[in-house]
Structure 1
Amino acid sequence: MNTAEQGSGAAAAATIDIDHSDPEYRAWLKEAVRKVQADANRSADTHLLRFPLPEGWGIDLYLKDESTHPTGSLKHRLARSLFLHGLCNGWIRPGKPVIEASSGSTAVSEAYFAKLIGIPFIAVMPRTTSAEKCRLIEFHGGRCHFVDDSRKMYQEAASLAAGTGGHYIDQFTYAERATDWRGNNNIAESIYQQLRLERYPEPAWIVATAGTGGTSATIARYVHYMQYDTRICVPDPENSCFFEGWANGDSSASSDCGSRIEGIGRPRMEPSFVPGAIDRMMKVPDAASVAAVRALDSAIGRKAGGSTGTGLWGALKIIAEMVAEGRTGSVVTLLCDPGERYLDKYYSDSWLEEQGLDITPYAAAIERLLATGRWTW
C-alpha cells in the first residue's frame, strides 16, 4: 500500500491511499494515459496568423492561434499536461473527482479531459465568469461551483478535494512543472518550427500574458535552453499583482480584487509565475486590451478574448519602439481563445459603460500607429 501526502500551493490535499500493484488500477491508469496522449496525437498544430503591418517597416507580427484546440483555447495544452502529471504521479484516481480553481478556460479544457477518462470534474470559479464558459464546462460534463471573491478560489478548491477524496489539480502551482519546457512539441517549439521559413525565423520578441504564468515560463525556458536571442515580454492587466511583484522583486505582492480580463492577471504571485525567466513586463489598462482585441477583429476578421488584446497591445507597443529605432524583425504573441465566449463583455458597449471603460483613446492610438508608425500613448 502506498500512502503519501500531496502538497499544494494553496493548501494540503487529501491523503492518497492506492495499491499501485492492483491490476485493475494499473489497467485503468494505462488506459487513461493512453487516451490523453491520443488526444495530442490526433490534434494538428495550431496556426500562426499574420497581422498586417506596413511593408516598409520590415517588421512581421504573428499571432499563435490557440483557439483552434479541441476545447478552444491555449489552456488545452496546459490541461493535457496537468492530467498527465496528475495521472503519472498517482494523484488522479478512478471514480474520484478532479477539482480546479479557474476563471474558466482551464476548467473547460480540464472538464474535457476528465470526461475523456471517465471521472467527475468540479470547477471553482468567480461568479463573474462568462456564461459561455460555464455552459462549455457543463457541456463537457463538469460542474460549476461559484465563489463571490476570486481570492478564495484556492481554499475552496482544496476544501472540496479534501471533502470528496478527490484531487485539487492546482494549475497555479503545477503549470510550470507539468509542461516539458525543453521541447516535446510544446508551444515554444511549435512557434519556432512554424517560423522556420519566414524572413525573420528567430523572433525579436515573444509576448505572452500570464494567468498561471506557466506559458511564459515554458517559452522563456525554451528560449534560454535553445540559446536564442529572443526576448520575452509579459503584459499584465489592471487588478493584477504580477507586474508589481516582478518590478519590486516582491514574491508577496497582492491585489485587492480580481482581473476583468478573464484568464490572466492574479491577486497573488502564483507559484508557476517565474519572474526571473522573463525579460520585460508592462502594465496594460483594461480599456487598451479591449481596444486591441477589437482592432484585431477589424484587421483579420477574428474575434478573440480580452487576454489576446492585452498581449496584442504589448506587442504593438514593442513594434512601435522597433520602428522608432529603425530595427527590423518579427514579434509573436498569442490568440488565446475565441471572442465568441465574451460577446456579452469585451464586445458589448453596455458592459464597457457598466465597467466605466472608455476604449476610444486606445483605439485611436492603435489606428495612428498603423497609419504613421508613431506610438502616441
Structure 2
Amino acid sequence: MIDGWAAEAVARLDREREDAGPTPLRDFPLPEAWGVRLRLKDESAQPTGGLKHRLARALFAQAIASGRITEGTTVVDATGGPMAVAEAYFARLLGLPYIAVMPKKSSGAGVERLGGTCRYVDPPLAVYEQAARLSEEIGGHHLDHYRSAAEVDWRGASLADELFGQVGDCPRWIVAGAGTGATSAAIGRLLRARGLRGRLAVADPENSAYFPGWATGAPDYATGMPSRIEGVGRPRMEPAFDSAVVDLVVPVPDAASVAAARHVRQVTGLAVGAATGTNLWAALELITRMRDRGERGEVVGVIGDAGERHLATCHDDAWAAARGLDWRPYAERLRDLLGEP
C-alpha cells in the first residue's frame, strides 16, 4: 500500500506537470516553393529548460510508487548537464536530498543552485560505479537514469503523447536526438501502436554509438568515446534505445550542429544548444530529400535545450575554436540551402 508521503509526493508531481502545461510547436521558416512545413517542439519551455524534465519527473514518480524512494531518501545519480538539473529540481520539489556524481571537469552550478550536491569523479567513466557505491554506502536510491529510462512508466505524460495531440495529421517525419533513447523509443512505439504513417529519424552526433549500432544491428555496439554535443549521443547503446522502432538514424558532424544551433538563434531568437542544431541539421537533410522528390508535408523536430548559458558554448567563437569545430562552412551551406544572403 502506498503511504501518505508517497501519495502526496506523486500528487505533487502530477500538479507540477499540469502547471507546466504543454510546450509549444514553433514554425521554422522554409522556402514556400518547397511545400514542406518544419515545426520545432520547444521543450526549452519546461521549468528546467530542457527535454530531460519529463524523464526526470517520470523517474521520480515510478521510484516513489514502487517504494524505492521514501520520505527523506537521498537520491543519487551519475549525470550532469540538463538531466542533473532536472533531477535536482524534482528532489527539491519533494524535499529530498540529491547528489549528482559527475566528471571532474563538469560544472555543477545548476545543481547547487537548486540545493543539490555534486561529487566530482575522475576518470569520467568512473561516475557510474561511484554513484552506485555512494548510494549503497549512504542507504540512498541510485536513480540510474540510463537504465531506468528503459523501464519508466510515463503515465500518459510523455512528449510523444503530447506531440501527437498537437500536430493533428501525422507528420511525414519526426526527428529526435537520443541521449538515454527514451524519447525516440516513446515516439516510435506510439507511431506503430496507432498505425500512423509518419516515420521516426534519430539525429546522431560524432562519436555516438547509435548510428553504427543501428546500421549494423548490434545492440551492444560501443565507441568508448564521449559525445561533444551535450544531451545527445552516447559511447554505448543504452537500454532505453529501441532500434526496432527507428526508421532512420542520421549522422551529423559536430561542426554542423554548431552552425545549425546558431541558425536557430538567428531565426527564432532562442539561444539553443548544439543538440538542437544536431536535430535541425538532420531535419533539413530529410526535407531536402522530400523537396528533391517533389514530396509535400510536415516534419517535426525538437528544441530541447534553449538557454542563456549556451551563449558561452556553441554560440561563442572561442568555445568552438577550442574544440576544433569549424562551423563556418556548414553555416554557408545552410544559407545556400535556404536561399539566404
- Number of aligned pairs? 340
Give CA deviations for 1:145-164 in whole Å, capped at 9, x if unaligned: 22333322221211111111
Cα separation, 1, equivalents of 2:312 and 2:269:
18
Unaligned runs of 5+ in 1: 1-19, 373-377
**Deviations 1:174-199 (Å, cap 9, x if unpaired)?**
2133143xx82421122222222xxx
Distance 1:295 1:239, change over 3 A: same
Match 1:316 to one of 264, 270, 284: 284
| Runs of 4+ with deviation above 4 angstroms | none
Note if contact 2:24-2:42 (Cα within 8 Å) is conserved in structure 1: yes
CA contact (8 A) 2:101 2:127 kept: yes
Out of 161, 167, 177, which is 1:195 matched to?
167
Quickly say closer, same or farther: Cα 1:216–1:149, change in 2 above 3 A. farther
Instruction: Report deviation, 1:305.
Output: 1.1
Whether the 8 Å CA contact 1:207–1:331 is kept in 2: the answer is yes
1:139 to 2:113 alignment = yes
Q: Deviations over 1:114-156 (max 9, x none)?
A: 1111111111223343x4xx22211111111223333222212
Contact 2:205 2:227 in 1 (8 A): yes
Amino acid at match of 1:216: S
> Does 1:39 find its partner at 2:16?
yes
2:156 paired residue number: 184
Aligned-residue CA RMSD (Å)? 1.6
Letter paired with 1:159: R
2:221 to 234, 253, 257: 253
Q: Residue in 1 aligned with 2:46?
A: 69
Whether contact under 8 Å (1:150, 1:257) holds in the other structure is no
Q: Is the 8 A contact 2:271 2:310 kept in 1?
A: no
Q: Relative to structure 2, which stretch is displaced further, 303-312 or 135-144? A: 135-144
Matches of 1:113 and 1:262, distance apart in 2? 21
Q: Structure 2 vs 1, CA of residues 175 and 259 (structure 1 numbering), >3 Å: closer, same or farther?
A: same
Correspondence for 1:305 = 273
| Partner Cα distance (1:345, 1:150) in 2 | 20
Q: Indicate whether 1:170 and 2:141 are aligned.
A: no
Q: Once the two structures are superposed, what CA deviation does each residue of 1:1-44 show, in whole Å capped at 9, x if it has no partner?
A: xxxxxxxxxxxxxxxxxxx6xxxx81211111111111112222
- Distance in 2 (CA, whole Å) between partners of 1:265 and 1:146 is 22
Q: Is the 8 A contact 2:131 2:142 kept in 1?
A: yes
TM-score by length of 2: 0.96
Local SS of the residue matching 1:208: strand
Q: Deviations over 1:270-319 (max 9, x none)?
A: 11111111100021111010000001111122111111111111001101
1:3 corresponds in structure 2 to: none
- Which one of the candidate residues 244, 251, 274 is aligned to 1:283? 251
Change (3 A) 1:322 1:53: same
| SS at 1:250 equivalent | coil
Task: State the TM-score, normalized to the length of structure 1.
Answer: 0.87
- Distance in 1, matches of 2:71 and 2:161, equals 33
**What residue number does 1:54 align with?**
31
The CA distance in 1 between the partners of 2:213 and 2:78, in whole Å, is 22
Task: Work out the CA distance in 2 between the residues paired with 1:319 and 1:334.
Answer: 15
SS at match of 2:63: helix
CA deviation after TM superposition for structure 1 residue 323, in Å: 0.6
Cα separation, 2, equivalents of 1:139 and 1:76: 16
**Matched AA of 1:139:** R
Which consecutive unaligned segments of at least 5 residues does structure 2 have?
none
With 99-108 and 49-58 compared, the bigger mean Cα shift is at: 99-108
2:328 matches 1:360: yes
The amino acid across from 2:35 in the alignment is G
Give 1:1-377 correspondences, 5 Å limit: 26-129=3-106, 131=107, 134-180=108-154, 184-196=156-168, 201-371=169-339
Q: Following the alignment from structure 2 to structure 1, what is the Cα–Cα distance between the partners of residues 124 and 286?
A: 32
Question: CA-to-partner distance for each residue in 1:238-275, whole Å, 9 max, x for gaps?
Answer: 12111111111112221232111111111111111111
Q: Which position in structure 2 is the counterpart of 1:14?
A: none
Structure 1 residues 80-138: Cα deviation after superposition (integer angstroms, max 9, x where no partner): 10001100111112222111122311111111111111111111223343x4xx22211
User: Which residue does 1:15 correspond to in 2?
Assistant: none
Contact 1:103 1:262 in 2 (8 A): no
Indicate if the aligned counterparts of 1:78 and 1:179 stay in contact, CA closer than 8 A. Answer: no
Distance (whole Å) between structure 2 residues aligned to residue 27 and residue 370 of structure 1: 57
Shift of 1:65: 0.4
Letter matched to residue 249 of structure 1: G
Give the whole-Å Cα distance in 2 for the aligned partners of 1:265 and 1:147. 21
Distance in 2, Cα, partners of 1:343 & 1:179: 35
